[in-house]
Structure 1
Amino acid sequence: MTAVANEGTFLLTDRQCASILDWAAAQPHNGLVLRAFLASVALAALQPKEALKLRARDVEFDDQGHGALLIPSQGRESRAEEADGAATVRRVPVGKGLAAILKEEIARRDLGPDDLVFVLDDGRPLTAPVYRDVWRQARAAVLEAHEADSPLGSTVSALRDARIAAWLRNGDQTAAHIVTVAECAGMSASRLAERFAHCLRKPTPAEIPWHLLEEDSDLSESASEPTGAAPRL
């Protein structure tokens, strides 16, 4: 079953995402790099254009098998900061699965710190036209006929949407949790809440702190009451 994200957009299931990665890995040409690229979108919620720019120096690994990706921020504020000589970078945690895939890809090609991570077998950098063509093939191979005829997974970014939705659903959905997810995804919390409203659990009446709201209301009312006639000058 697919879940509607907003009008005309649907979310891939975990099974469908995994099947697409497996399909990519099985391709005789560029299979491993395609799997690594798609995994970075599917498991770290990178924008495809961010993944294309990823260099070996941007990937960190720890002793426990996890890691992190260092992604330059894309927003208007970051561009202003870059003009001042202080570029901003967001740090995206990486689980063991993606860490292993990226570590294997970096070792397989013996990449240096400045080398792009996602390079085709013939040495050319992976580009948007190439991965879009592969995505069309993977989608047709993995999805059922009625799913392929729907908007489900129409672009590679569907992998990113599925990961963001999973992050939201699998947390406590407090304000701090939503902000953390937004930071990892490289978007504002307000935009995240608007775009993925269907993933956010609505609080029950019992969970809403009505007494605190009432106290705040009482305070506001008392502050607005006149304290007496103004003295004559």
Structure 2
Amino acid sequence: MSSYDVKIHDMGKRDDRGKGKSHRVRWVVAGKRFERSFTTKALADRFRSDLVKAAAAGEPFDEITGLPESRLREQDRTTWYDHARAYIEMKWPHAAAKSRKSMVDALLTVTPVLIVADRGAPDAETLRLALYRWAFNPNTRSESVPAAEEAALAWLTRQSLPVSRLRDTDHIRTALNACSRRLDGKPAAATTVQRKRAVFYNALGYAVERNLLDFNPIDRTQWKAPAVAEAVDRRVVANTAQVESLLDAVPAVHPQGAHLVAFFACLYFAGFRPSEAASLRRADCHLPESGWGRIDLAETAPPTGADWTDDGEVRQVRGLKHRAETEMRSVPIPPDLVRILRAHLAKFGTADDGRLFRAARGGYLVESTYGEIWRDARKAALTPEQAVSPLAGRPYDLRHAAVTLWLNGGVPATEVASRAGHGVAVLLKVYAGCIDGDEEHINQQIERAIKASRGRGRIRGNRTQNSARSTLKQQVKAGRGSPKRSSLENH
């Protein structure tokens, strides 16, 4: 129902919101009070002005939402599918290739379930392909869409929910539940759920920005994502002897293994991420004949896939993680790594662009290839018990082993964070479980405390028993009869 009985109050400010949404707009429709809070005064003023203009124009207001009907009609015309494409278009130009892929992956999950009805639905795989390859990828806008995928997108255009209906938390819960499951129906990893939820939340926030929603409905939905383990599992951390055994095994398990020894060594002795080591160039390395050397990292090239880069390359060359685009990270490297890198350059040279490590045909290293070589090296170098354990299960775990080694060696956290490319707070949170302190000393303290507590308990027990015996003896002397043997024993 709609009403022309509208009263709009002056703007106010809520002091209890701190730095949050403290600017408030209040209005009344047919005797029912409504309120909206905003982060800035300008946003609140713009929203109030829209209400005033609608009321002045004689426009009816919806009694359920409190909004002018023209605004509701605009919201109802925009479907979730339309909005998801607009969200991608907005984020795409400034997003890294991996972020683009992550956004599309999340929207692929929620979009097929945010529908009015599933009558005449296309095959699920066809619909996912249509969204992945065409609808959510601005790079393919100029290409023709195959007939099957085009029909799938036409169906979705008709059946996608209006964004305004996402105020219903049942729809939001359906989408979040989809984020928590893999395609085979099994529970998704906690990190995957968290990542998809974050994208969905951000897309709904953009709907609020576009005035398609009045609030982010996830904030009003009681749904809990699985907890994400942020700390490194110390079981993956290998010691230096184990790492060196693994490096020795790498050349024997694959024809390209000898070329990758220095690559894996960079992950352990310098604490590099695999994408940082993969883009390492000769000009970045300062390798004296003896002593410590230095590597100046200026860029990284994480694998993303050709669909998500602007130039069609499978990797996107960009600045270092957690740093400004042109900021460099200078990492001193120990003599062990200096010797390994000098031997690598003497034997293999560099790629045409100066990269130290390359695939068989000269391109960037392929993650699946060096991952398979690492798995074979683990089987060859580790004991059967270690091979089935998490110990150094991935090449990335060599970086975890490096940071753990530095922290336990007494290197200040600020210096470790600088070399590893972390913030100090993140560093300590991620590696808290791998830092060894005075464990033996602490254990001895606890053991002494246990013994002391046990001794105090015996003293109190003896005092209690002696007191009971004395009381019973006094009762006997007073002529109250002889105590039963069992009662004395019970005490």
TM-score of the superposed pair, with normalisation by structure 2: 0.36
Taking CA–CA contacts closer than 8 Å with sequence separation of 6 or more, which of the two structures ends up with the larger relative contact order? 1
For the pair 1:39 / 2:265, whether they are aligned, the reply is yes
Counterpart AA for 1:74: L
1:29 corresponds in structure 2 to 255
1:114, CA displacement in angstroms?
3.7
Instruction: For 1:88 and 1:200, locate their aligned partners in 2 and report how far apart those are by CA, in whole Å.
Output: 32
Q: CA deviation at 1:117?
A: 0.2
1:201 is aligned to: 437
Q: Which runs of 5+ in 1 are unaligned?
A: 205-233
Cα distance between partner residues in 2 of 1:13 and 1:120: 28
Report what 1:211 is aligned to. Answer: none
C-alpha distance in 2 between matches for 1:27 and 1:143: 13
**Mapped partners of 2:430, 2:349: distance in 1:** 39
Separation (CA, whole Å) in 2 of partners of 1:149 and 1:31: 22
Number of the residue aligned with 1:168: 407
**Which amino acid counterpart does residue 141 of structure 1 have in structure 2?**
A
Structure with larger Rg: 2
Q: CA RMSD in A?
A: 2.7
Distance 1:70 1:14 in 2: 24
- Per the alignment, residue 187 of structure 1 pairs with 422
**In percent, how many aligned pairs have the same letter?**
29
Aligned counterpart in structure 1 of residue 371 of structure 2, from 132, 140, 153:
132
CA shift at 1:147, angstroms?
Answer: 2.1
Aligned residues of 2:286 and 2:295 also touching (Cα < 8 A): yes
Aligned to 1:75: 321
Q: Evaluate the alpha carbon distance shift between residue 62 and residue 105 of structure 1 in structure 2; reply closer, same or farther with a 3 A threshold.
A: same
Superposition map of 1:1-233 within 5 A? 6-7=232-233, 9-27=235-253, 29-62=255-288, 64-72=290-298, 74-76=320-322, 78=323, 81-82=324-325, 87-111=326-350, 114-120=353-359, 123-171=362-410, 177-198=412-433, 199=435, 201=437
Do the aligned partners of 2:263 and 2:277 also contact (CA within 8 Å) in 1? yes
In structure 1, the residue matched to 2:189 is none
Which residues of structure 2 form unaligned runs of 5+? 1-230, 299-318, 442-491
Count of aligned pairs: 190
Q: Distance in 2 between matches of 1:63 and 1:7?
A: 37
**Contact 1:56-1:117 within 8 A present in 2 as well:** yes
Rounded to whole Å, the distance in 2 between the matches of 1:113 and 1:133 is 26
Cα separation, 2, equivalents of 1:113 and 1:120 = 12
TM-score (norm 1): 0.72
**Separation in structure 1 between the aligned mates of residue 233 and residue 392 of structure 2, nearest angstrom:** 14
Deviations 1:194-215 (A, max 9, x none): 11113153799xxxxxxxxxxx
